[in-house]
Chains A and B, each alone.
Chain A
């Protein structure tokens, strides 16, 4: 009857939602340690940190942002396919607010000459951000209303905006790719404050999501609706409103991701911004252990899931795998992680982890 505290704790670790995403991440980093010399090197320039690890974090921000919103949607048992399209809409809205000349808005001649100036914007930055996010939230609301109130299957309901969204984004900019010259806007995606600036945005959105779901009863209700919406209804939970808030938040996250992505490449590219990102976001959440069928979720695990995807991509580029082949290798990583979640493997791990009960 010697209390075997350490082994008990070890058990608790393996059962945690964060365990498998971390294992997957560790494997990839281990691979890098062996095969990519200098992968873990850091350098500092102007007091800012640079290095491959930082690149993973920085390039992973959009998927991390999308993953946060997608986590809540998947937890209700739904899915949002429109996030990539909503990113494109946001980028277009932001660009047009800063540079409306493209769509025929006449500027007074004295302003006209500043149009390519890195310090010029038509609408002030706070207005650009606010309006863009409001548009993104409306997109999320639209999805939520279709799913919760019109009772359309989530995949079909969000497919509508996924397809129409890029068209809307094109309409907003009159089919033109608008270049963004305004420097403060570029800071959103490209700035550094020791760490890349978008990481602070992720941290902020994560904090909002965490407070929203863990400091109110919304998180519990989302899980309850995702597990058994009929029981939840009998218990007095307004299942429609819960779904609405999940999709709305997902729209908000896509809006933020759209700001970051367009600021990164300094254009509103309605055809390419966020292309196929909905799939990466879903993948990130699934790697994070939230089931597609809904129920328990972990925001932090989804973030790690996003990093697993990004780390794979970055590592492959680092060892010189051609871009086309990266997708195939990404597939292998996904299979590996999903296998970790299967009951068989879990049972195996349970057997090999030391267990000294009774």
Chain B
């Protein structure tokens, strides 16, 4: 195969596995000089692993990397920098209490008489930033500037360190507003024009179409394909990201149609509920016996919406009524006592308490609701734990096993059990099937429908559209932190994807 002179990086057959997970499997990736290349995929698709391999943080198990036509083994992040590969991470990792100039040039400050030559250092920093069309006072502390400027300073530093030929931007826009994003894009175009190749990771579809020349889509650690942005319609991109599988109409659909007859009164109602910066005001009604699916890409505001309903974040506008009563006190504990439960997205950080036993994890929320002094007796605790271990088929040697020893799927079931034990009327499930095996996935989907059948109102959030379609009676679509539309009854998959993709499809 003749290497095109235009290729900066050629990765072939990259594979990487971590204990229990095949993070990357036979992935090819080609980056041309002076292009902006979007790398997209839902959580767990393998984007970050691929970047880690490219920047020397992780070593691939198999596959080869060619950089500027020569085969290389990237040994460490330092080595990657020497090669001219620079990375700017999602969170700005600079020092906010140092000046902008110090942040850009720290470690390479110009010296005079054995000390730092502040004058020329500031001049140099100003010059670098002006090269990016940014005109600010570089002697101010970095923290006094908006995030966008901080982000630019991070980029300036990244470029300065290695006279970079390849710049990796990991979700640089997730904390920027529209104007700031435009500014960033200007800088990216400028860099492109001088021949720097950029890998751009983002969840915002609009931005991909605005700036990227080509797109590489990953899903579940596998390469879906690399496409010219101009020749890939939005809809198709989304279909590729979420893995449409025009599902074999299984019995789930039958159960669903059957159960849709049982939808009854409204349990929870949100009016103009919103939280500036995380989700635009929205209206939502949850009815007994109904499963409402939230569809939307990562970062579309699904998790924020769930958090608002449950009281993790306090809304700054709008109201929630549960069972006709206006909610005044927004907190998880208040929600639990009102019969609202949230099974959070991040199982490890927000779900399990890993040192505690399965029993303790299951009774935790129920006990929190009972308070300090109505402590469940050991007998009651074991009864409850064993009942749910049986009901949900939790694979554990005993109720006294620390929950950290369980597999991901079983940990998820333990958390489900924790919430079912509180006997909620409204159950919000944020990505309950992420990272767990197919069999357990199906079990959980079925469980959700069963719970609805019992008269609970369920909210089902998932990155996999197919899964949302299978389990939900009604589907709410979110895009860019805004509720865009709602579908019920016979749902056309295409319309949902159109709504997720937004304008111009």
Point out residues on A near B: beta carbons under 8 Å. 215-218, 220-221, 223-224, 227-228, 230-238, 295-296
Contacts and interface: CB of A to CB of B under 8 A. Distances in A.
Interface string B346-389: 00011111111000100011011111110110000000000000
Nearest to B373: A216
B172 interface: no
Contact of B355 (A216, A235, A295): A295
B375 A224 contact: no
A295 B373 CA distance: 21
Given A217-B367, A217-B370, A224-B356, A234 B375 contact: no
B365 A235 contact: yes
10 contacts: A220-B367, A221-B372, A224-B356, A227-B355, A228-B353, A231-B350, A235-B332, A235-B364, A236-B331, A236-B369
A220 B375 CA distance: 10
A35 to B, nearest CB: 40
Nearest to A229: B353
B353 A224 contact: yes
A236 B333 contact: yes
A215 B351 contact: no
Contacts of B344: 234
Nearest to A237: B368
B14 interface: no
Given A223-B356, A227-B353, A227-B355, A237 B375 contact: no
Contact of B365 (A228, A230, A236): A236
B372 A234 contact: no
A220 B360 CA distance: 8
B51 interface: no
A144 to B, nearest CB: 15
Interface core residue of B335, B342, B368 (most chain A CB under 10 Å):
B368
Contact of A224 (B331, B332, B360, B373): B360
B432 to A, nearest CB: 14
Interface of B: 312, 331-333, 335-336, 342, 344, 349-356, 360, 364-365, 367-373, 375-376, 418
B349 A215 contact: no
Contacts of A236: 331-333, 335-336, 365, 368-369
Nearest to A224: B353
B368 A215 contact: no
A223 B350 CA distance: 15
Contacts of B312: 233-234
Contacts of A220: 356, 360, 364, 367
A231 B352 CA distance: 6
A231 B369 contact: no
Contacts of A223: 353, 355-356, 360
A295 B357 CA distance: 12
A236 B372 CA distance: 12
Given A233-B332, A236-B365, A217 B375 contact: yes
B354 A227 contact: yes
A227 B342 CA distance: 20
Contact of A231 (B351, B371, B373): B351
A221 B375 CA distance: 11
Nearest to B374: A217
A227 B352 CA distance: 10
A74 to B, nearest CB: 14
A187 B360 CA distance: 44
Nearest to B312: A234
A252 to B, nearest CB: 17
Contacts of A224: 353, 356, 360, 364
A236 B351 CA distance: 12
Given A216-B372, A217-B372, A224-B356, A234 B351 contact: yes
Given A217-B376, A224-B353, 5 more contacts: A221-B367, A223-B360, A236-B331, A236-B369, A295-B355
Nearest to B351: A231
B375 A235 contact: no
B349 A228 contact: yes
Contacts of B375: 215-217
A295 B376 CA distance: 20
Q: Which 7 A-B pairs have the closest CB atoms?
A: A236-B368, A236-B333, A235-B365, A236-B336, A227-B355, A235-B364, A217-B375
Given A217-B371, A224-B364, A227-B354, A235 B418 contact: yes
